[in-house]
Amino acid sequence: MNSLYVGGVGLSAPGLSGAGGGGAAADTGAQALPPALRRRASPLSLLVCDALAQAAAEAGADLAAIPVLLGSAYGEIGTAVEMMRSFGDGAGLPSPIRFHNSVHNTPVAYASIGRGNRGFSTALAAGPETVAMALVEAAALLAERGGDALVVFADEPLPEPFAPARPWVAAAAALHLATAPLASPRARLGVPRRGSAAAAALAPALEAHPCAGAFALVEAVRRGRSGPVSIGPPPDGWVVEVEAGAS
């Protein structure tokens, strides 16, 4: 597999600003989904659609036709735990919307339905290696099919009673990737490899985020920085080489 070209990035982390934060507001998803879908969509789906829309707009990509990949360690965990609460009553049934919103691929399903995209989509997870494995799958997909793809990384907080000692906030980051040189690429990425690199400084609420490496990667691309970026897990996980603006 060869290196990939970044045509655009997206970031949706409501309430955060600064390194690795910023982007997105109260109307998260407003530009990405029609109102009827937006009312039904899960909070994670809104973040994902928002980040995807940003990356696609920056790259001039068509959200109705481009392959979309989601990497998320825990997926729709908020909805899944909310469903468990409804089981407290022995006769309890979840709402149908909550049930179908609980599957891991929910965010990319809304992205597909919202934009009429009848092509490829997938959703995967690999715990602390989620960012690296999503990039591996994206690189393999692009080697297989050529063209371009959007890969989005997202997780929301683990709800009580499962919240970890070091919590994180809901946030999503997206990259538009292409196999061929672009007219004005933001950066060129190497294929993920095992190795180590200095961890990027992120907003404290993102430091323990399962997709922290994706926020570091987007930050490096946005700031035009070249060099190796650790995409997790620290200290000896996976690394991507970034070459700013390379065509």
Number of residues that bind another protein (CB under 8 A): 63
Residues constituting the chain: 247
Q: Least distance (Å) from another protein to the CB of residue 235? A: 18
| Burial profile 31-44: b = 16 or more Cβ within 10 angstroms, e = fewer | ebbeeebbeebbbb
The reply on whether position 133 binds another protein by CB under 8 A is yes
Nearest CA to 196 out of 230, 242, 220, 226 is that of: 230
**Window 183 to 222, contacts with another protein (CB under 8 A):** none
CA distance 193 to 136: 9
Can you tell me which of 7, 20, 23, 75 binds another protein, judged by CB under 8 A?
75
Nearest CA to 11 out of 200, 153, 208 is that of: 153
Q: Least distance (Å) from another protein to the CB of residue 144? A: 5
The reply on whether position 112 binds another protein by CB under 8 A is yes
Residue 184: other Cβ atoms inside 10 A? 9
The reply on whether position 144 binds another protein by CB under 8 A is yes
Q: Which stretch binds another protein (CB under 8 A): 11-19, 157-165, 176-184, 216-224?
A: 157-165
> Six-digit token pair at 241?
């080489």
Q: Which stretch binds another protein (CB under 8 A): 4-12, 17-25, 156-164, 174-182?
A: 156-164
For another protein, what does the binding mask look like between residues 14 and 53, x meaning CB under 8 A?
--------------------------x-------------
The reply on whether position 128 binds another protein by CB under 8 A is yes
> Six-digit token pair at 141?
């997909």
SS3 (DSSP) at 84: helix
Q: Least distance (Å) from another protein to the CB of residue 176? A: 18
Nearest CA to 49 out of 134, 135, 154, 124 is that of: 154
DSSP β-ladder status, 193-194 and 187-189 = unpaired
Residue 97: other Cβ atoms inside 10 A? 13
Can you tell me which of 25, 143, 198, 201 binds another protein, judged by CB under 8 A?
143
Can you tell me which of 12, 102, 179, 230 binds another protein, judged by CB under 8 A?
102
Can you tell me which of 25, 62, 145, 180 binds another protein, judged by CB under 8 A?
145
